[in-house]
Amino acid sequence: MKTFSLKTDPLTGETYNEVYLRGRQLLADSHLNKASAFAKEERLALGLDGMLRSGVSTLASQADRAYEAYQRKPDDLERYIYLAGLQDRNEILFYRLLLDHLEEMVPIVYTPTVGQACMEMSHIQRRYRGLYITPNNIANIDQIFQGLSQPQVNLIVVTDGERILGLGDLGSDGMGIPVGKVSLYVAAGGVHPAVCLPISLDVGTNNQRLLDDPLYLGIRRPRLRGAEYEELVEKFILGVRRNFPGALLQWEDFAKQTAFKNLDRYRERILSFNDDIQGTGATTLAALMTAMRIKQSRFQDERYVIVGLGQAGTGIAMNIRAMLKEEGLSDEEARKRIFAVEMQGLLLEGDPLMEGPQEPLAQRRAAVDGWRLDDPGRIGLEDVIRNAHPTVLIGVTAQPGLFSEAILAETAKHSARPIVLALSNPTHKCECTPEAVWRATDGMGLVATGSPFQPMEWKGRTLQASQCNNMYIFPGLGLGALVSRASRITDGMILAASRAISDMVTPEQEARGLLLPEMKDIRQVSASVAYALGREARDAGLGRQLDDERLSSIFTRAQWEPAYMAYRPG
């Protein structure tokens, strides 16, 4: 049942929500509950008289009260639980608080704290958000979607929980990731919370810890595979198309073997993208664009070592390859500059363990003839660093400390300003700390990390590492695709988004070593990304045909601000 509709009074021009709930039901609806901020007239009209204390609050005073409660929590997990409870009670207040303290709270509602929360989700969950689609209820997909109380659904974030951050298979406990991503779509991108829907495809888990946990709330069975899994995903996508034909779907934290397949299979059939492949690749590319500007270098002047060729690593490598080709290099010339390292070592042509998307990244065997190796049967990371002389080092492995002091020192020999991107989440999975890079490079290294780190004083300078967070890309990408009514998301749109992000880094920020804009400017970043995507969609004939001025004004106005609307009974 729909709980409210947005209306405009034809006489006064006032916009208001026509509300179909009353009394306790209204107070229990997180989209509509204003708690102490209900006006006296609304209390009488909506059956709330006597259910609230007599004082009428403003949203600002409620946010002050909520922040006091937040500060009393003893640790980050308790702060996560508090914010989740606030979101379940009053979404507008939750987003007001989050926007007022964005830099402080993003690490709580998303990485790194969300990783800890997902590890314990069945033990800390209070209320359910979003939808859980399983092999047992997929036949009822239409009834499930039609039973939503939201007035409409424009944006879906879906996971099957198999590869949550760097933590692996967490089954339906991985729902914390789509919930967190939706929060960032709203806070950073300005997408209205009432049109966003997090979904878990609970197809079981191969995590024995969860299967043995008596409090685990997901399906207790080995993970669905093969044709049965693909049939469930197909039915899910068909249900989305029938019920939400204009919605954008974001694939989130699927395992590598299914992520590329789902993206390739559905990107032309439904407006969709994979944040782990395309989002991470685009954000990293933006950081590299800024680094090239700082170094006054070109992509073709650098040599890249990328360790970890999962979704993120492959997406990053393909973006670097695209930039090398844009600068005029051939496929073979681009191949010679990218050294991709997986568990078996450096990817080489003919490697039986290599997967399809990785083939263009494999080095020719002739290119490594004459290399000095520790083990003639395997080319490990240390061998690559010693022989390839990289100037850019990128890690997406979830192996803490992988970039050792020796590896960083060797990398520093081949560039006055080496670029080190240690991108694994959460913090304790990071390949190295910014401090380790700066010590190895006498403060000259350009650094970005997956999770936030504190600035460091070095010889009279304040050095800062950017957090290479997908939050810079996906909220604006979603806003841009929806508002421009793009029919699909292309590689050209994502490249335009990367340029828009890098262009926002100021000379003063570059002087501090920042490769991405500051988090406090995230709404302006999202608006710029949305505008860049909208222009590219228009020029490609895939979006609204509006001139630049009109397009820019639409994206600026489209960003939702958390504020209470007037209510009238419906």
387 annotated as ligand-binding: no
233: β partners: none
491 annotated as ligand-binding: no
* C-beta neighbour count of 105 within 10 angstroms: 22
Residue 243 near residue 142, CB atoms below 8 Å: yes
276 annotated as ligand-binding: yes
Cα separation, 484 vs 517, in Å, equals 24
Residue 446 near residue 466, CB atoms below 8 Å: no
Is 110 marked active-site?
Answer: yes
129 annotated as ligand-binding: no
Element (H, E) at 263: helix 256-266
**Nearest C-alpha neighbor of 476 from the set 314, 259, 318, 250:** 250
Does residue 352 have a cis bond before it (omega within 30 degrees)?
A: no
Residue 295 near residue 510, CB atoms below 8 Å: no
425 annotated as ligand-binding: yes
Is 181 marked active-site?
Answer: yes
Catalytic residue among 80, 95, 110, 567: 110
List C-alpha distances in Å: 320 to 66, 177, 483, 532: 44, 27, 29, 20
Cα separation, 76 vs 343, in Å, equals 33
Give SS3 for 549: helix
252 annotated as ligand-binding: yes
| Pairing of β 15-19 and β 155-159 | unpaired
List C-alpha distances in Å: 460 to 51, 457, 508: 59, 6, 16
Catalytic residue among 34, 70, 95, 181: 181
Residue 551 in tokens: 């397009």
Cα separation, 107 vs 425, in Å, equals 11
Give SS3 for 401: coil
Cα separation, 9 vs 568, in Å, equals 11
Q: What is the DSSP string of 423-487?
A: --SSGGG-SS-HHHHHHHTTT--EEEESS----EEETTEEE--EE--GGGTHHHHHHHHHHTT-S
Cα separation, 280 vs 449, in Å, equals 12
Give the residue carrying structure tokens 């828009």. Answer: 500
- The residues annotated as belonging to the active site are 110, 181
Annotated binding residues: 163, 252-253, 276, 425, 469
Annotated binding residues for a divalent metal cation: 252-253, 276
Annotated binding residues for (S)-malate: 163, 425, 469
